[in-house]
Chains A and B, each alone.
Chain A
Amino acid sequence: MSTTFNRYFGELRKTRIWRSVFRGGTGQSTLRNSMAIQQNVFLHLLPTKVRTRMIDFNATWYLGTLTLGTFGILVITGILLMLYYHPSAPQAYADTKDLQFVVSSGQFLRNLHRWSAHAMVFLVFAHMFRVFYRGAYRPPREFNWVIGVILLLVTLLLSYTGYLLPWDQLAFWAITVGSNIASAVPIMGDKVRFLMLGGHFVNANALLRFYVLHCMILPLAALFFIAIHFWRIRKDGGLYTRHSEPDAVMTTAPAERPL
């Protein structure tokens, strides 16, 4: 069956449409393989070559990938939730109630979004701890560590802004407390809070602001920095493993397998 598939796939790759999309052309040479990666807008973030020891579970515990996975879930469920949600008071609360009571699997959707958000924050921290204690932040990866810290902030802000959207008591008071903390910043604290809330209190303006931040600005920022983050992995010589150290002395090298 695989030969049949390969035959048809080979035919497909020869078509003009395919060639117009994938510029790499056909062939099995190493150059063609690397061009297939490099010349694809999605795949060019990946290194042209990945060593199997880098994708071993013990090397990274897949924490970064899992974080990306939760981010993917959050984007998909988030878009679905947006279909039911008006960022206006008091309709926002009624919409979350509708999701709970009348939308098919609406509660599942909300719970999935919420738990994924919690998982993402947890995974981001776990990822950072692992990078920190393995020393993977050291040159040449120090800039990617900085990008990672920015991504941590974006993640936390996503989490924080999403908290207000159900527009219930918990949301209201959490954001009230949070924005009061912001106002403790010396000199410009009150201005910061005013900017955050679009007023002096948590009200309809704050809800709209947080909605735009949560659904538009912050996800785009996250995507932007995730792209840089991944691209830098490739530029910095792939994922960090103990082999990445120039003076690494490996007592038991894992068996090299062709990818």
Chain B
Amino acid sequence: MSLPENLKKFRQKFFGNSVSAFGWTSLILLILLAIAPAKNFFSDWLRYQRGYERLISRRSDAVTLRRHFESGIQQIWLPELGVVDRCTTCHSAMKEATLADVSLQPYRPHPPIPHKLEEFGCVLCHRGQGTATSVEDAHKSTLAWEEPILPAKYLESSCGQCHQRDLQGTPQLNLGRKMLRAYGCVHCHTIKQPDGSVITATDDPPSLTHIADKTSREWVFAWLKDPQAYSTTATMPNFKLSDDDARDISAFLISSSTPASLKLVQSSLDTAKKIKDDATLQTKASSLYGESFCASCHAVQNAAGNLVGGNIGPELTKVGSKVRPEWLQAWVRNPHDYDPATGMPHYRFNDEQVGELTGFLLAKSDADLLANLHLDAATPEQIAHGKRLVNDYGCASCHEINGVKRPENFAPELTKIGSKPVNQLAFAPGVDHNLYSYIGAKIKQPRAFGASLKMPQYTFTPSQVDALTSALLSHNERALTIPAAKTVPALPPSHYEPAGKAGQLIADLNCFSCHAINGRGGDMAPDLTWEGSSVQRDWLLQFFRDPNTLRPALIRRMPKFNLTDAEIATLTDYILTVYQSPKVDRDSMPLTGYPPGQVELGKQLYYSKYGCQSCHIIDTKQDKGYIGPTLTHVGSRLTAAWVYNWMKDPAALRPGTQEPKRNMSDDDARALTAFLMSQRGNEKQEAKR
């Protein structure tokens, strides 16, 4: 009982009478009150500022650094952006380039960026809590703040808040945005850009209205079960369907299909059958496949298992197991007969060639794909169930299907997904409790969030998942509220349609699948918007007749479409007349007849002053430049006016070109033009052609 005894003594001593009790209580209260200013004094930001002063005092430029340094709470306040950032309170050296060797945070200087700190603040890009002045509150997710600092790997998403166009410095964001369109995400999820326009898909999910003409129910079943088993590069995701569900959906799709009007030429079919079963004939047919540059768009797996070819059209490794021969010969003859909206060009093959190619492709089959697969004839109940499933899974969001309407807003809108409050998310087990982990996990394995979810399984690499996550994070509340003056809006979609007979030809040949004109079209081949200013008529005529590549290092080339002379003349005249740049008058400079002195001066400039040979080839024996196009025939290809203007300012003619602007004088440019225009290749060979 010594303790209570002691306590009693203690009480007697300090609280025995009212005066000392009051005194001691006051003292205790005073000490407790002192905690408040003490906490101020020991706050994070004061400690870091003292640390910074110590750090700069040891450096040679301490005087300058100290003059730049401002103590106390620092703040970037931008009312129109809703920015109140006090990050620079601790991150004192943001703009001190001389501290580049310091790696210790928070004193590391900011890497060079095209924006000023004072104009955008920190949180706009990095997220986190800008108003906070303690380490945890500023960077982490707390009870009162659920938006932590954005990890560096998603940082590009922040550029996308203002920049709706692709930037050179944001390859990941560009990829993610491309994927949102190319993997059909936006078929089901609506995503609006800040200017109010809806992002449109660039993939081309085939219409299933005539599916029974094209393929068998067994193939549809196998495809539905696992699209990647047929083609590793398939865009179609895996819906993880049960056997019964896949059986019923395939039953419905086949039963709802209507016949297409396909042109059947028996001779082509016979040739095809002959070639399909004969290896030597196939080798001969393969040269037609090569000459037609099918591989520019379609890939085929080679013996080593690598895909060879482009990714614009579907992979053809197992196409023989998929399509019906009657359909294939009609498709090769003119794809527009089956699908008027296809991106595949209409090659002018004759019946013999059609048969050759059809046979060659039919031989590309995989006997295992549909082996042991037998489906009984569908019952009406199965078909009805299949239709219900097609509605449930939103198949019609992507594909046109007879008897099923395209659902509006099938999946949640993602316009503000990048700022969705974490408390509104249902997390799967094992997913970190923050927005970017949620988005990443959802893309990687949607069904982990619940087996009943409809979102299908894609096969993305981790870097693709990160790219998509970045692209989605850029669609947030902030992006929608940033003043228009601070943003770079997306290019408006071009609905350019070339006119007349040439327009019909361009549509028939699907030039836009590879070439862009006036903002519409693909990016695989050169932009043709100013083609009329740049090339000579004779060269263009010859090029259509027998396209040979300008850049020897490329595998993908312009195919030979077997056009008639009349068609070639129509296209050439149209291009030369219509696709002219207002900046270049194609007739302002002569193609030939430059004085030899000027040509010689140009040659010297070419090889010494400007060192053009590092990227271009003129002397095939010596030059090793493979980056730019070969210039051995440039004098018979390009117009002099174009070459001259190109020398002066390449980016003005083709934005984004790799050709550097060399700020050359008019005389230099003229001399180089004279030299280049003298490069007309081997005149004899030219004449023979």
B37–A102 CB distance below 8 A: no
Query: With A102-B86, A168-B144 in contact, is A108–B36 under 8 Å at CB?
Result: yes
Verify if B40 is at the interface (C-beta below 8 Å from A): yes
> Of A101, A107, A168, which contacts B86 at CB under 8 A?
A101
Verify if B614 is at the interface (C-beta below 8 Å from A): no
B39–A108 CB distance below 8 A: yes
> Of B35, B37, B131, B144, which contacts A98 at CB under 8 A?
B131
B133–A101 CB distance below 8 A: yes
A101–B37 CB distance below 8 A: no
Residues of B within 8 A of A104 (CB): 37, 40
Verify if A105 is at the interface (C-beta below 8 Å from B): yes
> Per-residue CB proximity of A24-42 to B under 8 Å, as 1/0?
0000000000000000000
**How far apart sit A29 and B39, CA to CA, in the bound complex (Å)?**
52
Verify if B589 is at the interface (C-beta below 8 Å from A): no
Residues of A within 8 A of B39 (CB): 105, 107-108
**How far apart sit A94 and B73, CA to CA, in the bound complex (Å)?**
16
Verify if A118 is at the interface (C-beta below 8 Å from B): no
**How far apart sit A105 and B43, CA to CA, in the bound complex (Å)?**
11
**How far apart sit A168 and B146, CA to CA, in the bound complex (Å)?**
12
Interface range on chain A (Cβ under 8 Å from partner): 10 to 19
Q: How far is the CB of B219 from chain A (nearest CB, A)?
A: 53
**How far apart sit A30 and B603, CA to CA, in the bound complex (Å)?**
123
> Of B37, B73, B131, B423, which contacts A97 at CB under 8 A?
B131
Instruction: Specify the chain A residue showing the minimal Cβ separation from B82.
Output: A90
**How far apart sit A168 and B131, CA to CA, in the bound complex (Å)?**
15
Number of interface residues of B (CB under 8 A): 15
**How far apart sit A94 and B84, CA to CA, in the bound complex (Å)?**
9
- B interface residues (Cβ-Cβ under 8 A, vs A): 35-37, 39-40, 73, 84, 86, 131-134, 137, 144, 423
A102–B73 CB distance below 8 A: yes
Instruction: Specify the chain A residue showing the minimal Cβ separation from B39.
Output: A108
> Of A94, A102, A105, A169, which contacts B133 at CB under 8 A?
A102
Instruction: Specify the chain B residue showing the minimal Cβ separation from A169.
Output: B423
Residues of B within 8 A of A102 (CB): 73, 86, 131, 133
Residues of B within 8 A of A107 (CB): 39
> Of A94, A101, A105, which contacts B134 at CB under 8 A?
A101
B40–A101 CB distance below 8 A: no
Residues of B within 8 A of A100 (CB): 132, 137
Contact sample, A vs B, 24 pairs, CB 8 Å cutoff: A94-B84, A94-B131, A97-B131, A97-B132, A98-B131, A100-B132, A101-B86, A101-B131, A101-B132, A101-B134, A101-B137, A102-B73, A102-B86, A102-B133, A104-B37, A104-B40, A105-B36, A105-B37, A105-B39, A107-B39, A108-B35, A108-B36, A168-B144, A169-B423
**How far apart sit A194 and B6, CA to CA, in the bound complex (Å)?**
62
Instruction: Specify the chain B residue showing the minimal Cβ separation from A96.
Output: B144
Residues of B within 8 A of A169 (CB): 423
**How far apart sit A16 and B451, CA to CA, in the bound complex (Å)?**
90
CB neighbors of B among A77-114 (8 A): 94, 97-98, 100-102, 104-105, 107-108
Q: How far is the CB of B144 from chain A (nearest CB, A)?
A: 6
**How far apart sit A102 and B423, CA to CA, in the bound complex (Å)?**
27
**How far apart sit A104 and B72, CA to CA, in the bound complex (Å)?**
12
Residues of B within 8 A of A105 (CB): 36-37, 39-40
